[in-house]
Structure 1
Amino acid sequence: MTARDPFLPGFTLHDIDADGVRIRAAAGGSGPPVLLLHGHPQTHATWHAVAPRLGERFSVVAMDLRGYGDSDKPPGGEGHAAYAKRAMAADAVAVMRALGHESFAVVGHDRGGRVAHRLALDHPAAVSRLAVFDIAPTATMYARTDKAFATAYFWWFFLIQPAPLPERLIGADPEFFLRTHLEGQSKTPGCPSPELFAEYLRVYRDPATRHAICEDYRAAATIDLAHDAADAEARIAAPLLALWGARGIVGRTYDVLETWREKARDVRGRALDCGHTLQEERPDEVSAALLDFLG
C-alpha cells in the first residue's frame, strides 16, 4: 500500500516485506537517510512533531517495529527469537534497502533504541550515526537493577512473565493499563496528546499487539542478553548521541553517558528537562539536537 500518513504531514505510508514479515513505514523528505524507531507503547506516530522537521534536510523513514502499530505480529517462536532485537534490526535493514538506502543514520527511543544498538553491532556498515533516547544499554540495566529501578520500571519484570499471564491481565482493561503507563512516564502535561493516545490505544486493544509486546520484553530478558554477552567486548563504531529526560528514571538512576562509553567509541549527549518521551515532550529541542548531530 501507499497512502498519506495521517500523523506525519507530507509522509507516505508503505508496507514493506522484511523476509516474510510485513513492516509498516512512513517515508518523506529528501537528503541523507535517517531511520526513526519508536518505543513501547508507541508507534511511528510518536515522531509526528520531529519527522517533518528532519524531512526538510533528510530522507526520513519512521517504521513500526514488528509487533507494534500496523506491522505484522508473528508468533514469538522458540526462545522468543522472533522478537530478538537482532530480528528487529534485520527488519530495519530490509526496510531501508527496500527504500533505496544502504547506509543511514538511526534514531531510536526506548525499545527502538535497543533495536538501534543491536543494528549498529550487527550491521556496522549500514549505520552512519546513532542516537538513543532515554535508555542505558539493556544488559547494563538488568545487571544494575535495584529496588528503586524495579519499582519504577515494574513492567520490565511483569511483561516477561510466562504467557498468558500478563496478556490476560492487561486485556482486562487495556485502556487503563496504557493510560497509567504513559502518564507515569511523561512529565509534561498534555503528552501524549488525545489524538496520539487514541492511536496508541487503537493498536493496544489488539490481543496480538499485547502478546507481541510481551514477547519483545521476554526476548530482552533472555535471547537479547545472550547476544549482548557474546558481544560484550564489541564497541559501536558510529558516533553516538544519547539524550535522556532529566526528570525520568533512567537519568536519575544511571550515568547515562558513562554507560554508553562502555559500549561505543564516540559518545556525546545531554539531558533534556522532561520525562521519558523526549520526542513528544520536547520536540523542538530534540529536532535541534538531531539536526546538529546528523549535520
Structure 2
Amino acid sequence: MTASRFLDGFTLRDETVNGLRIHCASAGDGPPVLLLHGHPQTHVVWRKIAPGLVKAGYSVVAPDLRGYGDSEKVESHAPHLPYSKREMAKDQVALMRALGHERFAVVGHDRGGRVAHRLALDHPEMVDRLVVLDIAPTLTMYERTDQAFATRYFWWFFLIQPEDLPERMIGRDPEYFLRRHIAGQVKTEGAVSDRILSEYLRTYRDPATVHAICEDYRAAATIDLDHDRADCDRRIAVPLLALWGAKGVVGETYDVLQTWRDKALDVRGRALDCGHAIPEEAPEDLMSELLAFLPR
C-alpha cells in the first residue's frame, strides 16, 4: 500500500474481488462509508470530503469503479453485461467484505449514484444509508427525455452509440473532450484545478478506459433499464438522502425528491448552490449534510 497523493491520510491498495482488480483509497475507523464517483472522474473526486469524514470518526473507502481510473478494464461488448450496474454493485459488495465491512453507508455521485441505487436494491442487508448526488433514477430520466435534456446531456446519447464510433471520436482528442465535459458541468470557478484535471486525464487517455466508459453508458441504456423495469415496484427501505446542484440540469429538469420518493420509502434532501460536481463544488455543504445523515 502507498499513500494517496490526493486524499490526505489515505492509503491506496488493489483488491481482487468479483473476478477483477479494484483500486481504492481507504482510511479511518468507525462506521464504514463507501464513496462512489461518477464520470469522468475517479475516486479523487472525494479529496475534499473523504479526509473530513475520517476526522469525524468514519471508516472511508473510495474506489475507482470498474473500468475507471486505475481499476481493471473488463472486456465488454453487447449486451454490455459486464458494465451493468448490477455487476458494478457486486464489485463494491465484495470490496467492502474484503475490507471487513458487512453493513455500510453508500454515497454515490453521478454514475456512482446509479451503482449505489442498484446496490441498495440487490443487497439491502448491506446498506444502512444511501446518498445520491445530482441524479434522478436512470429509468425515470430516459423515460422523460425531451429535446432540452437530450441537448444538455448529449453524452447520454453519444456514448451509447454502437462500438466503436464514440471511442474513435473521443480517441482523436481525449483531453479536449474531457475538459469540455467537465467545464460544461462545473459551475463553481476553481473547483477543479489543473492538477486534478491532469490526474483525471492520466487515465482518460487510455483507450481501454474510454471503451469501458462507453460500455457503462451503453449498459445504462439497455440492460440496466431491463433490471430497473423488473424492479419498478420495489422500494428502497433504508433512509435516502438526495442532494442536487441548483445550477445543474437535474435540478432544473426534475422534481428530484419526487423521483426518489417513487423509488424509496424514506427520502429527504435539498438543492445545493452549485452545478453537477457537488463533491468538488460544494464540499462544505455536502459535508454538513453527510454528518447530519450518516449513522454514528
Q: Provide TM-score, normalisation by structure 1.
A: 0.99
2:77/2:215 contact within 8 Å kept? no
The residue that corresponds to 1:294 in the other structure is: 294
Local SS of the residue matching 2:6: coil
Whole-angstrom CA distance in 1 between matches of 2:80 and 2:161 = 12
In the other structure, the counterpart of 1:28 is 27
Separation in 1, partners of 2:28, 2:142: 38
2:239 aligns to what? Answer: 239
Q: Distance in 1 between matches of 2:171 and 2:77?
A: 22
Secondary structure of the residue aligned to 2:80 is helix
Partner of 2:48 in structure 1? 49
Query: Quick check: 74-83 or 221-230, which moved more?
Result: 74-83
Q: CA deviation at 1:207?
A: 0.2
CA distance in 2, matches of 1:233, 1:19: 28
Kindly report which structure 2 residues correspond to 1:109-124, keeping only aligned pairs within 5 A, or say none.
Answer: 109-124=109-124
- Percent of residue pairs bearing the same amino acid type: 68
TM-superposed deviation, 1:200: 0.5
For residue 41 of structure 1, what is the amino acid of its counterpart? Answer: P
State the Cα distance separating 1:243 from its structure 2 match: 0.3
Out of 217-226 and 192-201, give the one that drifted further.
192-201
1:282 aligns with 2:273: no
| Residue of structure 2 equivalent to 1:9 | 8
Give the stretch that moved more between structures: 189-198 or 257-266: 189-198
* Aligned equivalents of 1:252, 1:108: Cα separation in 2: 20
Residue 74 of structure 1 corresponds to 74
| DSSP 3-state at the match of 1:218 | helix
Q: Distance in 2 between matches of 1:204 and 1:191?
A: 19
Q: Distance in 1 between matches of 2:201 and 2:191?
A: 14
Cα displacement (A) at 1:78: 4.3
Aligned to 1:187: 187
Q: Which residue identity does 1:16 align to in structure 2?
A: E
> Structure 2 length as normaliser, TM-score?
0.98
Gaps of 5+ in 1: none
Q: How many residues align?
A: 294
- Residue 110 of structure 1 deviates from its aligned partner by 0.1
Aligned equivalents of 2:67 and 2:240: distance in 1? 26
Read off the aligned partner of 2:146 and give its amino acid letter. D
Match of 1:40 in 2: 39
Letter in structure 2 aligned against 1:54: L
What is the CA RMSD across the aligned residues, in angstroms? 0.7
Confirm whether residue 132 of structure 1 aligns to residue 128 of structure 2: no
Between stretches 18-27 and 125-134, larger displacement belongs to 18-27
Moved over 4 A (4+): none
Q: Unmatched 5+ residue regions in structure 2?
A: none
1:122-141 Cα deviation digits (max 9, x unpaired): 00000000000000000000
CA distance in 1, matches of 2:175, 2:238: 39
Q: Separation in 2 of the partners of 1:42 and 1:131?
A: 18
User: Do the aligned residues in 1 keep the contact of 2:49 with 2:283 (CA within 8 Å)?
Assistant: yes
CA offset at residue 19 of structure 1? 2.1
Q: Write out aligned runs for 1:199-238 (5 A).
A: 199-238=199-238
Deviations 1:116-174 (A, max 9, x none): 00000000000000000000000000000000000000000000000110000001111
Q: Distance in 2 between matches of 1:96 and 1:144?
A: 34
Once residues 250 and 276 of structure 1 are traced to their aligned partners in structure 2, the CA distance between those partners, rounded to angstroms, is 8
